[in-house]
Structure 1
């Protein structure tokens, strides 16, 4: 088969490699001038720092096959994401842990004492939290909610936490020990030479041809046996039903001679600070040493037609529009929609790779059996 993949990010790279190894001919069209999508990394010429161009990407997973897969193409070195946050003139550790609680309240509580103390702060009248705010008030009480979650959430999503679902906060744990590792997965690390080097190796196969700076049009799908599309779902249909809602990010880059903040990620939870966080990229590669530093202030805002979409909003209005686009998808014969943009979901990198492997294997199974491969 001659198969077209639209986009050269993780989804299409993994699918393309899997199908190429099975004997298919692969063409990849990428609108940007580089591969690896939003996890694109590049080494800064002046400082030597490996920069995450579209914001930091930290690999973490419990999926052993996915961990083994990425390590086939790049050496992953140990990295623990230890996030800090500035609030009320102090620096605290996130996620909220025993150190955060004791520091914030000026106490020396043991784990069982802290658990009981936080339960006293919580609003126990909320028995079935429906919104982000209700979940936070039930989870940690008003003080910690105001200090660490409310302002950050308003800036990140551009709306009141009363209008966001409780499920968003369920991903943020509270720990009654001193573990300040942001993630809890078994495998955590960073690629020694960056994500772009990894994706380039995945795509390094004689049956794969990559065309950068090349836009895709829907009519081109007819020229191939099958298409895997990782671009915006609504964009495939030329936005004929309207645009799905996203948040985008603006980055304010600055350099510093020395160590600017002593950690990779510093959140700013107060609403009157316009940016959500500052990332200092040399700390994402703790095995390297650099005198200079490259930092980014991140600003979140509504995504316009010419912006890079980052976070799908997925509120009631967007879900209704998504259902309408899904009805159009059912009428498309030879296109499979994949990845964060193609399925309009927020996906971590490990889930993206897992789904790509599963989709590619399902395609090979159907094609090998002579079955029709639908949308």
Structure 2
């Protein structure tokens, strides 16, 4: 059998490993420098409260792609879950994304949908015709007051810079609704695996032709070995090339962990919009599994910072200087014939789980078609 190396035991790596292993034509080695599978989707039960914890922050699976939904459900049961995010600003609790209830509460009104839409349009900055920055997009979108309340402080904390320095594209995926729908996502299928994400990925990797090696660092092109027929790489693209063109910019997050009796905040995720509050949000993990009953609780305060060399990169900044560096790395990628770069870090894009799985399935299928295995 041909030997294939997969670097990274998150969703990208696990999907490719599972797809290739089922053909019976490949011996697959999956390596990950962490001591667990699952990447940032890793879940585990807290030893004190027995609550299923999203160790690297909240992950709610949502997609409108039926193929992807059926695929993940083939590895475990997903329970319905609607993410109803709240935001605290000046002592008031609001619903996100901005919806009719948020608008009426914030402005002290009782608008219907048409009235609210007209009101928000009147608040927008009409002088901004082609928004280039996050700030311009927000002011054109919802006006100065809602921007300052829900986006300015939160965004400044999350990205470590003034929103006017960020591209408008970051905000374009955040909706405003003129009804009372407070579901954070618009997708048809939404849920969380009953036994956590780690169990899903574990089942993907359970095959006689798959060997997983944890605590195993791969040093990119330095470790490229002729014994492998092909390599699927899901680590940082700049790390693969030993940062020869410089480091790409990322933000990372870290958490402060607390436990308590009962229920701490009554909701899975609450944002803290004001700049004066140092953390961006609090997630209480028992609320991600409403089908379970727990007397105690565990919750995380989430903080954002610049990514140092030893940190786990989370959000690609994709500033102008980053994109110039990325072009140089992408040029090097094009020269490689037996390495596939896959996933959030390897392609330097923000990707939700369903996008990662869809692209991994597509990549594996294209690889097999090229190999004459499809």
Q: Distance in 1 between matches of 2:40 and 2:227?
A: 28
1:21 corresponds to 2:22: yes
1:351 corresponds to 2:351: no
Match of 2:315 among 311, 332, 335: 311
Q: Distance in 1 between matches of 2:332 and 2:122?
A: 51
1:226 corresponds to 2:218: no
CA contact (8 A) 2:23 2:373 kept: no
SS in 1 for 2:225: helix
Match of 1:131 among 130, 133, 140: 133
Could you tell me how far 1:239 is from its partner in structure 2?
1.2
Aligned to 1:179: 181
Runs of 4+ in 1 over 4 A off after TM superposition: none
Which stretch shifts more, 235-244 or 92-101?
A: 235-244
Aligned to 1:78: 80
Match of 2:262 among 255, 258, 263: 258
Could you tell me how far 1:369 is from its partner in structure 2?
7.7
Q: Counterparts of 1:147-186 in structure 2 under 5 Å? A: 147-186=149-188
Equivalent pairs, count: 370
Match of 1:101 among 94, 100, 103: 103
Aligned to 1:373: none
CA contact (8 A) 1:221 1:227 kept: no
SS in 2 for 1:73: coil
Could you tell me how far 1:184 is from its partner in structure 2?
0.5
Q: Distance in 2 between matches of 1:4 and 1:361?
A: 16
Q: Counterparts of 1:83-94 in structure 2 under 5 Å? A: 83-94=85-96
Q: Which structure 2 segments of 5+ residues have no match?
A: none
CA contact (8 A) 1:279 1:296 kept: yes
CA contact (8 A) 1:221 1:335 kept: no
CA contact (8 A) 1:86 1:267 kept: yes
Which stretch shifts more, 361-370 or 169-178?
A: 361-370
Q: Counterparts of 1:112-127 in structure 2 under 5 Å? A: 112-127=114-129
Aligned to 1:2: 3
Q: For 1:168-193, what per-residue CA distance to the aligned partner results, in whole angstroms no more than 9, with x for missing partners?
A: 11111110000000000000000000
| Cα root mean square deviation, aligned | 1.1
1:324 corresponds to 2:331: no
Aligned to 1:337: 341
CA contact (8 A) 2:134 2:168 kept: yes
Aligned to 1:282: 286
SS in 2 for 1:270: coil
Q: TM-score, normalization: structure 2?
A: 0.97
1:361 corresponds to 2:365: yes
Q: Report the CA distance shift for 1:27/1:369 in structure 2 as closer, same or farther (over 3 A).
A: closer
Q: Distance in 2 between matches of 1:220 and 1:185?
A: 40
SS in 2 for 1:234: helix
Q: Which structure 1 segments of 5+ residues have no match?
A: 371-375
SS in 2 for 1:333: coil
CA contact (8 A) 1:59 1:189 kept: yes
